[in-house]
Structure 1
Amino acid sequence: MTRIDSLLVATAVAIAPLTALADSPNGVKTLSPPGAIKPTGTWNLGTRAGDFVFIAGMRGIDPATNTLVAGDEARVRQAFLNMKLIAESEGATLQDAVRLVVYVTDMYRFRPIANKIQEELWGNGPYPPRTIVEVDRLNQDDILEVEGTFYAPAKK
Structure 2
Amino acid sequence: MTRLLASMIAALAFASAAHAQSPATSAVQYLHPPGAITPTGPWGLASKAGNTLYVAGMRGIDPKTNALVAGDEARVRQAFMNMKQIVEASGGTLQQTLRLVVYVSDMYRYRPLANKVQEELWGKGPYPPRTIVEVDRLNQDDIIEVEGTFHVPN
Instruction: Give 1:25 deviation, angstroms.
Output: 2.6
What is the CA deviation profile of residues 97-130 of structure 1, one whole-angstrom value per residue up to 9, with x for unaligned ones?
0000000000000000000000111110111000
* Distance in 1 between residues matched to 2:24 and 2:135, nearest whole Å: 32
Instruction: Give 1:24 deviation, angstroms.
Output: 5.9
* Distance in 2 between residues matched to 1:24 and 1:144, nearest whole Å: 36
* Distance in 2 between residues matched to 1:113 and 1:25, nearest whole Å: 43
Are 2:85 and 1:66 equivalent residues in the alignment? no
Give the TM-score, by structure 1 length. 0.83
* Distance in 2 between residues matched to 1:54 and 1:96, nearest whole Å: 12
Are 2:94 and 1:90 equivalent residues in the alignment? no
Q: Any gaps of 5 or more consecutive residues in structure 1?
A: 1-22
Runs of 4 or more, structure 1, over 6 Å off, are none
* Distance in 2 between residues matched to 1:24 and 1:75, nearest whole Å: 39
* Distance in 2 between residues matched to 1:24 and 1:141, nearest whole Å: 39
- Per the alignment, in what secondary structure is the counterpart of residue 56 of structure 1? strand
* Distance in 2 between residues matched to 1:55 and 1:82, nearest whole Å: 10
Aligned-partner residue type, residue 92 of structure 1: G
- Any residues of structure 2 matched to 1:3-152 within 5 Å, and which? 25-152=25-152
Question: Aligned residue pairs: how many?
Answer: 132
Please provide the CA RMSD for this pair.
1.0
Aligned-partner residue type, residue 68 of structure 2: L
* Distance in 2 between residues matched to 1:68 and 1:145, nearest whole Å: 12
What is the CA deviation profile of residues 38-80 of structure 1, one whole-angstrom value per residue up to 9, with x for unaligned ones?
0121100000111100000000000000000000000000000
Percent identical pairs in the alignment equals 70
Aligned-partner residue type, residue 131 of structure 1: T
In the superposition, relative to structure 1, how do residues 54 and 24 fare at CA in structure 2: closer, same or farther (>3 Å)? Answer: farther
Aligned-partner residue type, residue 38 of structure 1: T
* Distance in 2 between residues matched to 1:141 and 1:24, nearest whole Å: 39
- Per the alignment, in what secondary structure is the counterpart of residue 25 of structure 2? coil
Aligned-partner residue type, residue 53 of structure 1: L
Aligned-partner residue type, residue 106 of structure 1: D
